[in-house]
Structures are given as structure tokens and as C-alpha cells.
Amino acid sequence: MERISLAAGTALCLLLTGLAVERAFGEPVDDTLEIDGVPMITRAAAPEGHPFDEVLSGWLFREAETRATQEDSFENPGMLAVERGGEIWETVDGSMGKSCASCHDDAAVSMKDVGATYPKWDADAQRPINVELQIDKCRVENMGAEPYKFDDAEQVALTAFVKHQSLGKPLAIDLTQGELQTWWEKGKDVYYTRTGQLNFACASCHEASMGKYIRADHLSQGQVNGFPTYRFNTAGMVSLHNRFRGCIRDTRAEMPKAFSDELMALEVYVTWRGTGLSVETPAVRQ
């Protein structure tokens, strides 16, 4: 009897508000994202060998207000970082008297695919290279400038600016370059290895429990297509390796260094897991 009345109560709740449905089951929302008239792919068929049938942008897991903030590029506070990045792009730095623009000219043209195709294989270093490291490499080799310290505000802003040029482009990294496939395997190991006092792997939350709530937090697939993202909890920009480290810290494990082999492998693997999703940089998250 009790079970029947409970079921009736639940059905009534569902009839009353759509929000209740979202809350009760923690499903991603059925909504479409368009930024400045550019449609974003927030759901895509998963690549072969992927544990899910469909890959989903983290945008679908966020509250209505958070989603709306990202939909309006004026309102999106992450665009402040992108604008700052645009200024850095034009600013001369280093002993060779050059700015990014001296060689790369108009970022809208020269950087248009970068956000969707990195990490790439760096034949010189014999390891994967992401946008942050590519910027550093350029600064050292071509500008005679110092590499950025990890999470320097300028590094985050310039990375956001460069990736933003690919807004809307579907993620498509090429694993056939160099030994990227081996690094993908390594990254997969990292993704599924349980660590820390809480004994969580990335997959514990973002695969096994995707769509559920961990306390008040709605677990997404942990996609990386919106990084660097603007987060309300810190009222600032968060880079991908900062987020990786934050997640690992929360499992109460030792945090690998930013851009370490472990985290670069993870970036390669996790970027592949989002194949087909639009670059949303700078995404807005909770």
C-alpha cells in the first residue's frame, strides 16, 4: 500500500514541474546551446571503443541560470579572460621583439582549429603537447621570452583566447601522430586507476555514476571541451590541469604536477572521450 501511494506521489510531482524530473533522476537536460548564433554540439555519437553510446557536454548537467550565462557571450565572465588573451596576443614580449601576432597574424584565421585538435604530438620533446605548452614553446624558441608559470593569469587568458577561436568546432584529435596512441593507453590507465583515501578513479564518478548527484553536485561525463572554464565557485578561470588536480585532491590522493606525464596522458585520453563535442571555451560551470 505504502509503495503504491509513494509511486502516486512521485507521479504527481512529475506532473507538477519539469524541474522535479531533472532533480529526481539527475538526467542531463534536453536543451540546445547556441552562442552568438553559432550552434554548439552538446551531444554526439561516441567514437568506437567508447564506454558510452553518446558523449554529453557538461553544459547539459548544469543549472538553468548557469546554462543561460554561457549562452550569452556578453554575460559570460569567461569572455573577460578571452579579451585579456586578445591583448596579450598583440603584446610584444621577450628578447626578439615579437608578439604572437607578429608570426601568427589574425588568430581568427591562424588558430581556428587549434582548440579542437590539441593535444598533438611534439616530435622534439617526444611527448604530447597541449595549448599551454605550445604557447610556452613558442615563447622560448621564437620570442626569447620566459615560459609561463603554471596557472599564471596570462597563461590561462591566452589559452582561453586561442581555444576560443575554435568555438563550435567538434573535438577531433589525431591519435595516429607519433606515439600518441601509446599515451592514450597510458591516459586510459590513469582514468581507471583508483587512488587516494576515497579510492576513486576518474571513472568512479564520471562513468559509473554519471548523471547522479554526489551531495549537491550533478556528476557529468567530465568532458574537457570547455576549458579553460569560468567557474562560479572561485569566480575565476580554471585551467584543465588545475581541474584535474582539483579532482584528484578531492579523492585525497597525491596530486601529480601540472603537465606531468601522467596528466598529459590523461588529457590525451579525456579529450578523445569528448570526440565530436564542440569546443565551448570559455564554458561556464558551477
Contact footprint for another protein (CB under 8 A): 74-75, 77, 80, 83-84, 153, 232, 235-236
C-alpha 200/C-alpha 206 separation (Å) is 10
Please state the closest distance from residue 230 (CB atom) to another protein, in A.
Answer: 9
C-beta closer to another protein: residue 30 or 83: 83
C-beta closer to another protein: residue 153 or 198: 153
C-alpha 133/C-alpha 258 separation (Å) is 11
Burial of 20 (0-12, 13-18, 19+ CB in 10 A): middle
What are the E-state strand segments in the chain? 34-35, 38-39, 43-45, 54-56, 120-122, 127-129, 213-214, 217-218, 229-231, 236-238, 284-285
C-alpha 276/C-alpha 164 separation (Å) is 16
Please state the closest distance from residue 77 (CB atom) to another protein, in A.
Answer: 5
Three cell numbers, residue 66: 548557469
Catalytic residues: 247
Please state the closest distance from residue 252 (CB atom) to another protein, in A.
Answer: 22
Please state the closest distance from residue 282 (CB atom) to another protein, in A.
Answer: 13
C-beta closer to another protein: residue 194 or 249: 249
* Cβ-contact 82, 160 below 8 angstroms: yes
C-beta closer to another protein: residue 108 or 235: 235
C-alpha 114/C-alpha 281 separation (Å) is 12
